A and B are shown apart, each in its own frame.
Chain A
Amino acid sequence: MSINATLIGQMITFALLVWFTMKYIWPPLFDSLEERKKKIADGLAAAEKGQEQMHLAEKKAKGVLKEAKEQSSEIVNLAQKRANELVEASKDTAKKEGERLLQVAKAQIEQEKQQAKESLRKEVSALALLAAEQVLSAEIDKTKHQDILSKISNQLG
């Protein structure tokens, strides 16, 4: 139990252990710790940055969405207007066309009426002539009264 040379041996062992720890054990372990600390800090910073960017992007997206909405409603309004216009225009043309058709039909009717009148008149005059001929044939000589007959015929025609 007394102090002896063991002391010196122990001191040498201790010095060797401390030297070895200082040279080969502490630095790599400590460095890896520090490196990991840095990595984690970097990762956290990156995450924060990402979040910030996401917020920004969200804001931007909202803006774009709003703009798009505005634009789309504008487009819809425009389209509606245009459609109304088109409807109005087509109504107009339809009306006009109808009127025109009506006019054409009316004209045709008039024409047909005239034609009918003409043919009727002709038929009536022919009939009248025929009747007059029949009546007069007995009494009047055709050649004698040629003048009068043609006058009447002209008046009828």
Chain B
Amino acid sequence: MATEAHAEGATGYIIHHLTSLTVGEGFWALNLDTLFFSAVLGGLFVWFFKMAAEKATAGVPGLIQNFVEMLIEFVDTQVKDSFHGKNKLIAPLALTIFCWVFLWNFMDLFPVDILPLIGSMMGIEYLRVVPSTDLNATFAMSISVFCLIIFYSIKVKGPWGFAKELMFQPFGPWLLPFNLLLKLVEEIAKPISLALRLFGNLYAGELIFILIALLPWYIQPVLSFPWAVFHILIITLQAFIFMVLTIVYLSMAHEDH
């Protein structure tokens, strides 16, 4: 990729923007920018909520507590709507996913050149600031969710119950191989669709910002402003979708047929 990035003109600009800051080679390479920004954003989320949690009172809430409680209630409503079992993990998990993904996506609203420019001043050549445009980030989250789905499926239904569900549904024991194939595809589609949906939306959004940035300066605001407004909707919606689907998948894992 490094040679491509030095290409001239529009292509070079786009490729430059979509290249991660990487150390290492092959599989063991690390995308430092993704790791750094998602950790910082995660820290921001945790710091903000921890601050609110420490000051939390049952009396009259302050401004921060109000805001945080709004999110908590929102997530709690979503969880209660689709999940009827008892699980202490799901609501905090949903909250974390929603806030973290939202913050990832929010990085998209920074003008595309600002952070890479600051980076280049500090000697950093490549910088991708939106973690959700990195497949590693979205897949890390969806694979974690997938592991939880498998874990709770086995925990709730028992190993044999889960195996039975994989083998005998939806068409009964006579079509066992077909059932198994169908179920496996269904299960594996869950993390893949979760990760790719988020990645695709944000990648496309970021790409359009980059393309707008290539246009003459007097056209840019006319296009980037409406796209950014529209994007506010998209980033929230994508975070919401990821959260709700996680809750739905986990509640499906808890349901015994």
Contacts and interface: CB of A to CB of B under 8 A. Distances in A.
Contacts of A1: 18, 20, 134-135
Interface stretch (B48-56, B158-166, B178-186): B48-56
Interface in A35-59: 35-36, 39
A18 to B, nearest CB: 5
Contacts, number: 127
Interface stretch (B34-42, B149-157, B207-215): B34-42
Given A10-B34, A21-B92, A22-B92, A29 B52 contact: yes
A28 B56 contact: yes
A9 B136 CA distance: 9
Contact of B72 (A6, A7, A22, A26): A26
B30 interface: yes
A3 B192 CA distance: 13
B235 interface: no
Contacts of A14: 96, 100, 140-141, 144
Interface string A1-36: 111111111110111111011101110111111011
A35 B58 CA distance: 6
Which applies to chain B's interface (DSSP): helix, strand, loop or mixed? Answer: helix
Chain A: interface size category:
20 to 34
A20 B45 CA distance: 11
A1 B17 CA distance: 12
Contacts of B54: 28
A28 B30 CA distance: 36
A13 B92 CA distance: 15
A152 B29 CA distance: 182
Contacts of A33: 69, 72-73
Contacts of B112: none
A40 to B, nearest CB: 10
Interface residues of B, number: 51
Contacts of B73: 33
Interface in B123-151: 131, 134-137, 139-141, 143-144
Contacts of B30: 4-6, 9
B26 interface: yes
Q: Which 6 A-B residue pairs are closest in the complex by CB-CB distance?
A: A10-B140, A35-B58, A6-B136, A22-B92, A32-B56, A26-B92
Contact of A26 (B42, B91, B136): B91
A137 B68 CA distance: 154
A15 B144 contact: yes
Given A22-B89, A29-B69, A13 B42 contact: yes
B171 interface: no
Given A10-B38, A17-B46, A33-B73, A5 B29 contact: yes
Nearest to A28: B53
B238 interface: no
A58 to B, nearest CB: 33
A16 B22 CA distance: 23
A134 B183 CA distance: 179
17 contacts: A5-B27, A6-B134, A9-B30, A10-B136, A10-B141, A17-B45, A18-B89, A18-B92, A20-B50, A21-B49, A21-B96, A24-B50, A25-B53, A25-B92, A26-B91, A28-B53, A29-B53
